[in-house]
Chains A and B, each alone.
Chain A
Amino acid sequence: MAQEPHLVLCVDDELIGLKVRKILLERAGYRVLTAPDGSAGLELFASEPIDCVVLDYSMPGMNGGEVAAKMRQAKPHIPILLLSAYIGLPSEVLSMVDLCMTKGEGPPVLLSKLGSLLQPISRA
């Protein structure tokens, strides 16, 4: 696998959670960029060659739904995994992202979902 590891953008206002998620994903072999809120995330999304986004839903200022909408406008093909502490998010938000999971489901679920999102790209 000469290919460079995928670059994942994590956006979350939970700083400890974000830090732990970064370590976890790096251990799993991804390169990780982090942003503490929606606008910082969008800036990185625009400037960096992001392969995939792990996005928290509930954030101050701009929530995950709004951030996802903007990302879709900018680069519609980049997969987005929406993480949320809530169950039952609005359906228009769910339809906008590729996958969605509830926080607390555990790292294996996160890694496998992330893997399934990135496989088609790695195959290509």
Chain B
Amino acid sequence: MNLSQFNRILRQVFLLPVVALLLAAVALYLQIQGANSTVRLIQESDAHISQVSRLNTLILNEESALRGYENTSDARFLQPYLDASPRLQAEFDKMRSLPGLDEVEKGYIDDLIEKHQLWLDAFALPVVATIEAGGQVRDVDLNLRGKSMMDDIRHDLSNTTHNAEQRRAVRINLWQDQVRRMEWFLLVLALCVGIFIGLFTRNRLHAVSDAYRTSLDVLGRRAEEIFQSEQQLRTTLASIGDGVITCDTEGLVQMMNPVAMELTGWSQAEAYGRPLETIFHIVNEATRATVENPVSKVKRLNRIVGLGNHTILIRKDKTELHIADSGAPIRDRTDGIAGVVMVFRDITLERKTQDALLANEKLAVAGRLAATIAHEIHNPLDSVSNLLYLMRNGATKEESVQFMDMAEQELARVTQISRAMLGLYRESRAPVLVDLKEMLQEILLLMERRFSDDQVIVHTDLPSGISVDAFPAELRQVFSNLITNAAEAAGPGGQVNVSLRPQPALSINGIKQESGATVTITDNGIGIPEEVQPHLFQPFFTTKGERGTGLGLWVSRGIVTKHGGTIDLASDTSEATHGTSVSVFLATKPTINAGGD
């Protein structure tokens, strides 16, 4: 059941009783109206009866006054008669105009008026006239006739009253019937409406209660699921091998997992609510400058940030750890930032291992080169010492000149080689302008012997005047590595191409590339199978068996990355066009990525 259904039921439960009660009220109103009209009729009857009684009284007054006047002939006795006569006329009119008279009653009234008029004309007026004239009215007949007329009048009055009372009784009965009916009607109506409302409400409430029970079940299940998933998350978080710290948007620590507590040296209780930079105090390895607060960095960039690789965490007890870390925003439903989560791990050991590996590879390169150099130096030295021996043991003047020329040539070779060698391991602290042509030629010179030993033919295409900012010793390591690989891949009779191309600044698909230079080293060896290619830049991966350290390309890529450049490898193993090509792009003015490895 959804909310609108629930609201509909609420409306029904509210409106239906109201409608039912309204209908009941209307019915009741109609009933009461009926009863009221009956009451009105009863009131009419009452008015009728009282009017008749008033007429009766007035007529009685007339008669008694006339009788007193007859006996005394005193005009004062006649006064009530005189008073009653005009009033009686008005009362008769009123009587006739009373509402609700039926024909019978009207007949009675007309009869009454007629008889009264007859009594007046035939008896009362002559009597009054006689007495006023000083006569006596002792005639029994006349008085009997007057009495009989008056009896008629009385009879009529009594009839009228009787009739009115009967009608009244009928109307009262009717009213009582109506009231009784109404009572029954009310009772039945109340019962029906009550039962109807009760049943209906019960039905609706059942629906609501079912829905409520279902909701409760669902809620219960949800709560259980949420509890389970929270437990799972909690366990997961506690089991993660990396340190995890979550912060609110103000950068105050909310939660730390056990690894984070161990690495920082702070417990959850101590850390809760403290600023992140207190708990997670990080500085740059080289500069010792405090690294930007990850929370503000994440908020500023509004995305996942990898924090500098050369980061040192200063623990609570002031000991230091090398860490690799990243920060990510915690999103709320509206995609806003609800907090920040930091993930970091101790890479102290890793860094030491990595440093050792780098040093190892450097030594391996140095070892290989040392052998080459020893060869290159020993050969001319051998010639020179032989020449000196010859000169010391009696050479002619011409011979000596010839020998000295030869010795000089050989010494020049030694000098050239030792210069190239010096450049190879001269470390510089800041990047310097490196002429790529010069550098590549020096490397090729050192390797010349090797190429001729292996019968590898080297083609070069090195335009002059292309320079980049770089650490020369490191670049030499990269290129000597790549050229050695190419020569080994090419094998006896194979060819190696070393070319240099300037690379103007361009923007591909919106990704801007700086201007720089690309060095491409191509061999026509058998190529590298596709399944091997993804592993080439991994440490300890080698295709050369015992002869390789498996670190060359890994270190080379590290160096190129550090120089803000890229290294790409393409290889073809097909019969006709096999070979491998490695391109190294170096920016002219790179942002040196300290520790890009």
Q: Give which listed residue, B377, B406, B449, B455, contacts A20 with CB less than 8 A.
A: B406
* Residues of B close to A19: CB separation below 8 A: 406
A23 touches B379 (CB 8 A): no
Q: Give which listed residue, A16, A21, A23, A104, contacts B378 with CB less than 8 A.
A: A104
Q: Give which listed residue, A13, A61, A102, A107, contacts B386 with CB less than 8 A.
A: A107
B409 at the interface (CB under 8 A from A): yes
Q: Give which listed residue, B378, B381, B389, B406, contacts A24 with CB less than 8 A.
A: B389
B378 touches A59 (CB 8 A): no
Measured CA separation A59–B379 after assembly (Å): 12
Measured CA separation A36–B534 after assembly (Å): 44
B375 touches A17 (CB 8 A): no
In the complex, the number of residue pairs spanning A and B with C-beta atoms less than 8 Å apart equals: 68
Q: Give which listed residue, B371, B381, B393, B492, contacts A104 with CB less than 8 A.
A: B381
A107 touches B389 (CB 8 A): yes
B428 at the interface (CB under 8 A from A): no
B389 touches A14 (CB 8 A): no
Within 8 A of A (CB), among B364-420: 371, 374-383, 385-387, 389-390, 393, 403, 406, 409-410
A17 touches B449 (CB 8 A): no
Q: Shortest beta-carbon distance, B289 to chain A, in Å?
A: 48
B452 at the interface (CB under 8 A from A): yes
Closest to A109 in B: B385
Q: Shortest beta-carbon distance, B414 to chain A, in Å?
A: 11
B375 touches A86 (CB 8 A): yes
The contact size tier of chain B is: 20 to 34
Within 8 A of A (CB), among B448-493: 449, 452-455, 492
A86 touches B390 (CB 8 A): no
B453 touches A63 (CB 8 A): yes
* Residues of A close to B371: CB separation below 8 A: 86
Measured CA separation A63–B452 after assembly (Å): 11
Chain A, residues 76-89, CB within 8 Å of chain B (1/0): the string is: 00000001011100
Given known A-B contacts A27-B390, A86-B371, A108-B389, A17 and B383 have beta carbons under 8 A apart? yes
Closest to B492 in A: A61
Closest to B454 in A: A60
Measured CA separation A107–B382 after assembly (Å): 8
B378 touches A102 (CB 8 A): yes
Measured CA separation A27–B380 after assembly (Å): 20
B374 touches A20 (CB 8 A): no
Measured CA separation A19–B452 after assembly (Å): 20
* Residues of B close to A70: CB separation below 8 A: none
A75 at the interface (CB under 8 A from B): no
Within 8 A of B (CB), among A1-32: 13-14, 16-17, 19-21, 23-24, 27
Given known A-B contacts A58-B375, A104-B378, A20 and B383 have beta carbons under 8 A apart? yes
Measured CA separation A20–B383 after assembly (Å): 6
A104 touches B385 (CB 8 A): yes
Chain A, residues 53-64, CB within 8 Å of chain B (1/0): the string is: 000001111010
Given known A-B contacts A13-B452, A58-B453, A60-B455, A20 and B379 have beta carbons under 8 A apart? no
A120 at the interface (CB under 8 A from B): no
Q: Give which listed residue, A16, A58, A61, A87, contacts B410 with CB less than 8 A.
A: A16
A106 at the interface (CB under 8 A from B): yes
A21 touches B379 (CB 8 A): no
Q: Shortest beta-carbon distance, B294 to chain A, in Å?
A: 53
Within 8 A of A (CB), among B257-309: none
B452 touches A87 (CB 8 A): no
* Residues of B close to A20: CB separation below 8 A: 383, 386-387, 390, 403, 406
Measured CA separation A61–B379 after assembly (Å): 18
Given known A-B contacts A85-B375, A87-B374, A106 and B453 have beta carbons under 8 A apart? no
A106 touches B383 (CB 8 A): no
Residue of B371, B382, B492 ringed by the most chain A CB atoms within 10 A: B382
Measured CA separation A14–B452 after assembly (Å): 12
* Residues of A close to B376: CB separation below 8 A: 85
B382 touches A17 (CB 8 A): yes
Closest to A19 in B: B406
B375 touches A106 (CB 8 A): no
B386 touches A21 (CB 8 A): yes
Q: Give which listed residue, A13, A86, A103, A108, contacts B382 with CB less than 8 A.
A: A103
Given known A-B contacts A58-B449, A60-B455, A16 and B375 have beta carbons under 8 A apart? no
Chain A, residues 34-71, CB within 8 Å of chain B (1/0): the string is: 00000000000000000000000011110100000000
Q: Give which listed residue, B377, B380, B385, B492, contacts A107 with CB less than 8 A.
A: B385
A85 touches B374 (CB 8 A): yes
* Residues of A close to B386: CB separation below 8 A: 17, 20-21, 24, 107, 110
* Residues of B close to A83: CB separation below 8 A: 382
B378 touches A106 (CB 8 A): no
Q: Shortest beta-carbon distance, B102 to chain A, in Å?
A: 154
* Residues of A close to B452: CB separation below 8 A: 13, 60
Measured CA separation A102–B382 after assembly (Å): 9
Residue of B377, B383, B492 ringed by the most chain A CB atoms within 10 A: B383
B455 touches A14 (CB 8 A): no
Q: Give which listed residue, A14, A21, A24, A59, contacts B453 with CB less than 8 A.
A: A59
Measured CA separation A13–B371 after assembly (Å): 18
B409 touches A16 (CB 8 A): yes
Measured CA separation A106–B492 after assembly (Å): 33
A85 touches B378 (CB 8 A): yes
A17 touches B379 (CB 8 A): yes
Q: Which 10 A-B pairs have the closest CB atoms?
A: A85-B378, A103-B382, A85-B375, A107-B389, A60-B452, A103-B378, A104-B381, A17-B383, A20-B386, A104-B378
- Which residues of B come within 8 Å of A, CB atoms? 371, 374-383, 385-387, 389-390, 393, 403, 406, 409-410, 449, 452-455, 492
Question: Assuming A58-B449, A85-B376, what are 5 further A-B pairs, CB within 8 angstroms?
Answer: A17-B382, A20-B387, A27-B393, A58-B375, A61-B455
- Which residues of A come within 8 Å of B, CB atoms? 13-14, 16-17, 19-21, 23-24, 27, 58-61, 63, 83, 85-87, 102-104, 106-108, 110
19 residue pairs from A and B, CB less than 8 Å apart: A13-B452, A16-B406, A16-B409, A17-B379, A17-B382, A17-B386, A20-B383, A21-B386, A23-B390, A24-B390, A58-B449, A60-B454, A85-B374, A85-B378, A86-B371, A103-B379, A103-B381, A107-B389, A110-B386
